[in-house]
Structure 1
Amino acid sequence: MREENARAYWAANLKLIFTYLIIWFVVSYGCGILFVDALNNIQFFGFKLGFWFAQQGSIYVFLVLIWMYAFTMNKLDRKFDVHEE
Structure 2
Amino acid sequence: MPINKDSNAKAYWKENLRYLTILLTIWFAVSYGAGILFKGPLDNFRLGGFKLGFWFAQQGSIYVFVILIFVYVRLMNKLDKKYGYDVE
Corresponding residue number in structure 1 for 2:79:
76
Which structure 2 residues correspond to residues 25-40 of structure 1 after superposition, within 5 A? 25-40=28-43
Corresponding residue number in structure 1 for 2:46:
43
- Which one of the candidate residues 11, 14, 27 is aligned to 2:14? 11
Q: In angstroms, what is the RMSD of aligned CA positions? A: 1.0
Cα offset, 1:14, TM superposition: 0.3
How far, CA to CA, are the matches of 1:7 and 1:59 in structure 2?
Answer: 32
* Alignment-mate amino acid for residue 74 of structure 1: N
Cα offset, 1:42, TM superposition: 1.3
* Alignment-mate amino acid for residue 45 of structure 1: G
Q: Give SS of 1:23's match.
A: helix
TM-score (norm 1): 0.94
TM-score (norm 2): 0.91
Runs of 4 or more above 2 Å deviation: none
Cα offset, 1:44, TM superposition: 1.7
State, as a whole percentage, how many aligned pairs show the same letter: 56
* Alignment-mate amino acid for residue 7 of structure 1: K
How far, CA to CA, are the matches of 1:38 and 1:84 in structure 2?
Answer: 48
Structure 1: runs of 5+ lacking an equivalent: none
Corresponding residue number in structure 2 for 1:63:
66
Structure 2: runs of 5+ lacking an equivalent: none
How far, CA to CA, are the matches of 1:84 and 1:72 in structure 2?
Answer: 15
